[in-house]
Amino acid sequence: MSKKSALIKSVKTKRRIPAVSFVLSLSAIGLGQIYNGNLLSGIVFFMLRLVILMLIPFTVLVRDSPSHLPDFFVLSAAAVVVSAASPLEALMRSLKVEDAPRARYNRVWFYIAYSVFATFLSASALWGVVSFFSITAVGSNDSLPSLVKGERVLVMTYVPGEYRRGDLVLTGDGAYKRVIALPKCDASYDGAVFRVKGTPLTFGIIDPGRSIRYSETPQEYLLEERADGQKYPIGATLSKRPGPPETFRLGADQYLLAGDNRTASAVPVVADRRQIKGRVEGVIFPSRPIRFLLEPRTGG
């Protein structure tokens, strides 16, 4: 027998069961690849998903954006794709190669240690995501036409710095309100127009291509209110209240908020910073398909 033949016969092989490789990768991403004898491939799958999950909150810290909904959606979709690809790849490989060399890491103790380590790091990355974002339900139509009752929206619960005028925020009592005025500002409201530091918020007409996404509003008019360069839709009757305007003098940590549905049920309120739970990034589960990934502004 030649030395080459002796070497080949000395390599231990083991039959790989496709169902086992599939289930292992479902339980811990990359473990099915390790079971199949491909340690590097398993680590690549694991690290790829871990990095993607970590990028979701990281984008909030490094990029100032009116909405992080596109980042959240694209990265979340990529994490799901990688999570699904790992068990499928492990299954297909084990179907093609039933017998594979048995490596030192093909041991039960290694599988258990890898599973614990991978689960801990993945859970930590997911904890980072849920610390920055949450998906919440819209319980009323106070913020029509931006939000419709029953929709699910993405809320950024960690907001670096201060909120800005035009931000749509979630308050502690579950209401969705628009930031009208910032701390230390004087503002007034006459039932139709807000004035901040004496300057009225202006209105415009929503582009027809955008207005179709807000067609569920029951108000008399559908307008686009503008504040500090941000534009957002409101439903308004534009009828002033009798008597003098309501005035507000905000403290150092207070915001003036109002629903986009400018009716008696959406009167302006003053809220402390701690009463605001986060900023609405956009619609995740819409009332109509056309509203999918709708951001709470019509432009910047």
Q: Give residue 14's pLDDT.
A: 66
Average pLDDT for 214-242:
78
pLDDT-derived band at 235, boundaries 50, 70, 90:
confident
CB 69 within 8 A of CB 154: yes
Mean pLDDT of 67-88: 96
CA distance 17 to 85: 18
SS3 of 19, please?
Answer: helix
pLDDT, residue 220, reads 58
pLDDT attached to residue 82: 97
CA distances from 63 to 24, 74, 91, 300 (A): 37, 15, 39, 16
Distance CA 217, CA 201 (A): 21
pLDDT winner (highest mean) among 91-100, 221-230, 245-254, 291-300? 245-254
In this prediction, what percent of the chain has a pLDDT beyond 70?
90
Query: Residue 11's pLDDT is what?
Result: 46
Is the per-residue pLDDT at 6 higher than 60?
no
pLDDT of residue 13 exceeding 70: no
* 43 contacts: CB under 8 Å, gap ≥ 6: 30
Q: Tens digit of pLDDT for each residue in 119-154?
A: 999 999 999 999 999 999 999 888 888 899 999 999
* Phi and psi at residue 254, to the nearest 5°: -120, 145
Q: Is 299 left (phi over 0), alpha (psi -120 to 50) or beta?
A: left
Flag whether pLDDT at 87 surpasses 90: yes
Q: H helices of 161-271, where? A: 208-211
Decide which of 77 and 9 is more confident: 77
Report the candidate in 199, 167, 168, 164 with the shortest Cα–Cα distance to residue 182. Answer: 164
pTM for this one? 0.86
pLDDT category of residue 216 using cuts at 50, 70 and 90: low
In this prediction, residue 205 carries a pLDDT of 81
Residue 222, amino acid: L
Q: Percentages helix, strand, coil for the chain, rounded to the nearest 5?
A: 40, 25, 35
Residue 285 CB contacts under 8 Å (≥ 6 apart), including other chains: 135, 151, 152
Q: Find the mean pLDDT for residues 160-173.
A: 92
Q: In which band, very low, low, confident or very high, does the pLDDT at 25 lie, cut at 50, 70 and 90?
A: very high
Whether the predicted pLDDT of 264 surpasses 70 = no
Q: Using N-to-C axis directions, what is the helix angle for 69-96 and 39-62, rounded to 10°?
A: 180
Residue 269 is predicted with a pLDDT of: 93
- Distance separating alpha carbons of residues 233 and 210, to the nearest angstrom: 10
Contacts of 281 (CB under 8 A, 6+ apart): 67, 68, 69, 72, 133, 153, 154, 155, 156, 295, 296
Sign of CA pseudo-dihedral 100, 81, 116, 43:
positive
Supply φ then ψ for residue 72, to 5 degrees.
-60, -45
Helices (H), the chain: 3-10, 18-27, 31-35, 39-62, 69-96, 108-132, 208-211
Q: Checking phi first, is residue 4 left (phi over 0); if not, alpha (psi -120 to 50) or beta?
A: alpha
Average pLDDT rounded to a whole number, residues 283-289: 94
Q: Is the pLDDT of residue 184 over 60?
A: yes
> According to the model, what pLDDT value does residue 7 have?
43
What's the whole-number mean pLDDT along residues 187-216?
85
Pick 221 or 176 by higher pLDDT.
176
Report the share of the chain in percent with pLDDT over 90: 60
The closest alpha carbon to 153, from 275, 290, 294, belongs to: 294
pLDDT band at 187 (very low <50, low <70, confident <90, very high): very high
